[in-house]
């Protein structure tokens, strides 16, 4: 996907986006490629792949979200900034929080935020299961991309989401292999779900699990990591 195709594809799907978004994306791309020469953050160094596989494919799972109603976004395990930073560029009004346990990546994220002059972005270096009392029920939307299984991500994410908020877990073709026991966990967390399946312009199949949080999460969640990953 070249630059022109990327711009058109984003404009076709995401509405009311910031007028300066493409300039910010360009800065992001250049900064990522230069930084990647020093620290290996991604294997995608080809420009077309950065536009297509990196930027576009990271945000297309969120095409049904009304971001005008999203004030706070939590991205767990953002790595080098996707999808959180890209969504923040499109919708600057969002208060973005990133949780990333890898110190090398949090250093990059903080430098990227400074380079792009992004406001209202917080990067927290920690594991997501270690949740502080003031972080519970704080976010309109919680998401994570390619970090862990569906059940692991649901248990980690739900305590952070507001009642009525969304937890979005993008998955690929074989997501059904991860659904054993999912209904029981959903019942315990009191969330409901819908699944959006579609093929992107790059012929990538997306299965997007969209959970809605129906009531406050019991304080026993998230559990200790060893319990979370057992039978996950």
CATH level 2 (architecture), domain 3-229: 3-Layer(aba) Sandwich (3.40)
**Residue 146, pLDDT score:** 72
**Sequence ranges of the domains in the chain:** 3-229
Report the chain (232 residues): mean pLDDT per 10 consecutive residues.
93 92 95 86 79 92 96 95 96 97 94 97 96 95 89 96 97 84 95 94 92 96 91 69
Q: What is the pLDDT of residue 66?
A: 96
Sheet hosting strand 191-199, strand order edge to edge: 121-125, 95-100, 72-76, 139-143, 161-171, 205-213, 191-199
Task: Give me the pLDDT at residue 135, please.
Answer: 94
pLDDT value of position 177? 85
Output the pLDDT for position 198.
93
What is this structure's pTM?
Answer: 0.94
Determine phi and psi for 52, rounding to 5 degrees: -85, -65
């Amino acid at each position: 996907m070249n630059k022109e195709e990327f711009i058109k594809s984003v404009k076709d799907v995401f509405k009311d986006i910031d007028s300066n978004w493409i300039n910010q994306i360009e800065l992001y791309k250049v900064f990522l490629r230069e930084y990647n020469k020093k620290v290996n953050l991604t294997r995608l160094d080809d420009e077309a792949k950065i536009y297509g596989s990196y930027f576009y494919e990271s945000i297309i799972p969120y095409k049904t979200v009304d971001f005008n109603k999203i004030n706070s976004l939590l991205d767990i395990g953002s790595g080098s900034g996707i999808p959180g930073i890209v969504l923040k560029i499109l919708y600057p009004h969002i208060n973005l929080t990133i949780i990333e346990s890898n110190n090398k990546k949090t250093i990059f994220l903080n430098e990227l935020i400074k380079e792009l002059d992004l406001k209202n972005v917080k990067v927290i270096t920690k594991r997501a299961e270690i949740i502080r009392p003031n972080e519970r029920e704080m976010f309109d939307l919680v998401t994570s991309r390619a970090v862990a299984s569906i059940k692991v991500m649901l248990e980690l994410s739900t305590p952070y989401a507001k009642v009525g908020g969304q937890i979005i877990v993008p998955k690929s073709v074989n997501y059904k292999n991860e659904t054993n026991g999912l209904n029981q966990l959903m019942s315990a967390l009191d969330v409901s779900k819908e699944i959006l399946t579609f093929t992107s312009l790059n012929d990538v199949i997306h299965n997007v699990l969209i959970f809605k949080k129906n009531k406050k999460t019991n304080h026993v969640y998230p559990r200790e990591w060893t319990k979370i990953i057992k039978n996950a």
